[in-house]
Amino acid sequence: MPHKALILVDLQYDFCPGGALEVARGDETIAVANRVARHFELVVATQDWHPADHGSFAANHEGAEPYQVIDLNGLQQVLWPVHCVQGTRGAAFHDDLTATVTKVFPKGTDATVDSYSGFWDNGKRKPTGLAPWLREQGVRAVYVLGLATDYCVEFTALDACGEGFATFLIEDGCRAVNLVAGDGERAIDDMRSSGVVVVESAQIA
């Protein structure tokens, strides 16, 4: 039984340079994912997978602009450019990703609520099934990397801790949106404060 799993967060074209919600040097995470994946028997991937009418898209709110914050069904929501629409090229995993992924967990499929975490929607109402699935595989520790540090990676790592997994962040395998300068660093500090162990990919044996 593998006791550890690697969680690849949103390694999709829309979060890479040239994508709809591009993260600076986001594509550099792919090589790190491929390199560390060799040390894991179990690799899972989250996939941001929105319907075109998703409530997190500025385009779906009259008069709204991307990066504005609104109340979306009772939750604070940053409005994003249209991204990761189901079935589009932007929603696809990067072709350079060669890691063998055992199972993909789509998220953000409900138009009424965003889902940064690979475990729960932002209202913590509906689970994706990732936690029970990992437990069934005998996993006790998870290693997290991907895009973006200050959103989906942070929420995924914090929920992993909350679900009782020993949680490691592979720092050099992540890149941040940095809507506000320093957001990525603050996210890492928050994760560390919550019990996430921050490591570098070179430390993974």
Which residues contact ligand VGL by CB under 6 A?
10, 15, 48, 80, 147-148, 151-152
Decide: helix, strand or coil at residue 80: strand
Q: Which residues are catalytic?
A: 10, 107, 152
Which one of Zn ion, ligand VGL, none is in contact with 151 (Cβ closer than 5 to 8 A by kind)?
ligand VGL
Residue 48 makes contact with Zn ion by CB under 5 A: yes
Task: Rank residues 134 and 152 by Cβ distance to ligand VGL and give the closer one.
Answer: 152
Query: Which of these ranges, 1-9, 63-71, 103-111, 122-130, lies near Zn ion under the rule CB under 5 A?
Result: 103-111
Residue 145 dihedral angles phi and psi, to the nearest 5°: -150, 165
Q: 138 with 115: CB under 8 angstroms? A: no
22 lies in the binding site for Zn ion (CB under 5 A): no
Q: Are 175 and 25 a contacting pair, CB within 8 Å?
A: yes
Q: How far is the CB of 14 from Zn ion (least distance, A)?
A: 8
Q: In angstroms, give the least distance from the CB of 161 to ligand VGL.
A: 18
> What's the CA gap between 105 and 204, in Å, rounded?
24
Minimum CB distance to ligand VGL, residue 184 (Å): 11
Which two three-digit tokens encode residue 57?
């898209």
Region for 95 from its dihedrals, namely left if φ exceeds 0, alpha if ψ lies in -120 to 50, beta otherwise: alpha
